[in-house]
Structure formats: structure tokens, C-alpha cells
């Protein structure tokens, strides 16, 4: 149990995620991760030191890992010969990027005006009660991150929430529970959290 705990802690501090099935030790996994970053850089940049591809590179990594870990940003800085200070500036400026670990599943509740008048507070209450997180929080197993946003672009359906990008119009408590259980079940099948 203790070994499991330390292994997870190490993975978390280097990669911002828990070990997955098939991972070797944390350092080999880190090398593997950096190779994947190289593939993404090659796809957009071909090592021509082209800064314009940076955003796309960050987006791809964010989709893959759910956030941008510091070692990965430092690697990109080295590979593309772009000062880390500039890279940090871009990722902290742009809201699409997260520099703190995020869960595998992103739950977003709209708190914009149209949704607010249609009952966002009650929806947010239901969501926080079921996933046991407050807005801005990620659970310790890195399963879920809950955030609020100002508008999801479909005000007529409000109050609205998204789970991994899928829209749900004013879901009931039962529906939210079903969604959460479905995701947990999927993870169990993938044995992601069993290591
Ligand atoms: S205000 Fe909620 S979708 Fe626009």
C-alpha cells in the first residue's frame, strides 16, 4: 500500500498524473512522454524554430495530458530554443491552457447571465454535491476537474453544463449521477485507477 502511495506521489510530482497500466518507472515514463512531445513538435514545427506553431503544440499536449507540466514546457523551450519566460507568458495568458494538473474529465458549468437567471445556482449545487468538488478543484485521483465558465454559447438551453465537451441542458440529479457513474465505469474497464 505504501509503495503504491509513493509511486503515485512520484508520478504526480513529475507528470501530474497517476501511473497507468503499462507504465514503467517514473523516469522511463517521463522519457516516453518527452518522445511524444517531440512527435507533436515534429508534426507542427519540424524543428525549424517556428514560434507560430507553439499554440498548436500546447493545444495538442493539453488534449493528451489535460494540462501542461513544467518539465514538458522546459523541454519545448529547449527544443525550439524559445525562452521559457516567453513560453510561461503564453500558457498563463491563454485561458485554454492549464499549468496545474487537471482530471481526466472536465466538467464545466456555465454561470453566464442567461444561465444564471434560468437556475445555474441549483445546477451547480447538484454537480458539486455529486462529484464532491467546488469550482476550480480537481479530485486527488485526477478523475474530475470542475470549472465554471461565462458562456458556453448555447444560452437558450440554459442552465447548461458540459462533460468532456458534451453539452447537457439542465440535467437532473439522476442524470448527473448517471453521467458520473458511466465515466467511473469506463475507467474501471480500462483499469486506469487500479495500479
Ligand atoms: S450564458 Fe450560459 S450558455 Fe450562454
55: Cβ contacts below 8 Å, ≥ 6 apart: 90, 94
65 CA → ligand 1 middle, Å: 27
Q: What is the pTM of this model?
A: 0.73
CA 34 to each of CA 21, 65, 79, 169: distance values in angstroms, whole numbers, following the listed order: 18, 12, 11, 39
CA 18 to each of CA 4, 40, 83, 130: distance values in angstroms, whole numbers, following the listed order: 10, 22, 29, 23
Nearest CA to ligand 1 atom 1: 112
* Residue 158 Cα: closest atom of ligand 1: 2
* Residue 111 Cα: closest atom of ligand 1: 2
Q: What is the pLDDT of residue 193?
A: 45
* Residue 115 Cα: closest atom of ligand 1: 2
d(CA 67, CA 15): 10
76: Cβ contacts below 8 Å, ≥ 6 apart: 37, 41, 54, 57, 82, 87
* Residue 152 Cα: closest atom of ligand 1: 3
Q: Measure the CA angle with vertex 58, ends 52 and 60; round to 5°.
A: 110
In the predicted model, residues of the chain with pLDDT beneath 70 are: 1-19, 45-50, 188-195
99 CA → ligand 1 middle, Å: 26
d(CA 1, CA 8): 11
Q: Which residues line ligand 1 (CB under 6 A)?
A: 110, 112-115, 151-155, 158, 160
Amino acid at each position: 500500500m505504501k509503495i503504491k502511495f509513493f509511486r503515485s506521489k512520484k508520478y504526480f510530482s513529475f507528470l501530474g498524473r497517476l501511473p497507468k497500466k503499462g507504465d514503467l518507472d517514473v523516469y522511463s515514463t517521463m522519457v516516453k512522454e518527452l518522445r511524444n512531445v517531440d512527435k507533436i513538435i515534429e508534426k507542427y514545427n519540424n524543428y525549424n524554430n517556428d514560434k507560430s506553431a507553439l499554440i498548436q503544440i500546447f493545444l495538442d499536449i493539453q488534449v493528451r495530458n489535460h494540462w501542461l507540466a513544467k518539465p514538458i514546457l522546459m523541454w519545448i523551450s529547449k527544443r525550439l530554443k524559445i525562452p521559457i519566460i516567453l513560453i510561461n507568458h503564453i500558457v498563463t495568458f491563454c485561458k485554454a491552457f492549464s499549468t496545474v494538473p487537471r482530471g481526466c474529465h472536465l466538467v464545466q458549468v456555465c454561470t453566464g447571465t442567461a444561465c444564471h437567471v434560468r437556475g445555474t445556482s441549483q445546477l451547480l449545487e447538484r454537480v458539486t454535491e455529486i462529484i464532491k468538488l467546488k469550482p476550480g478543484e480537481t479530485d486527488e485521483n485526477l478523475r474530475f476537474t470542475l470549472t465554471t465558465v461565462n458562456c458556453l454559447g448555447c444560452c437558450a438551453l440554459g442552465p447548461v453544463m458540459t462533460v468532456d465537451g458534451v453539452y447537457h441542458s439542465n440535467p437532473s440529479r439522476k442524470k448527473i449521477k448517471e453521467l458520473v457513474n458511466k465515466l467511473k465505469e469506463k475507467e474501471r474497464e480500462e483499469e486506469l485507477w487500479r495500479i
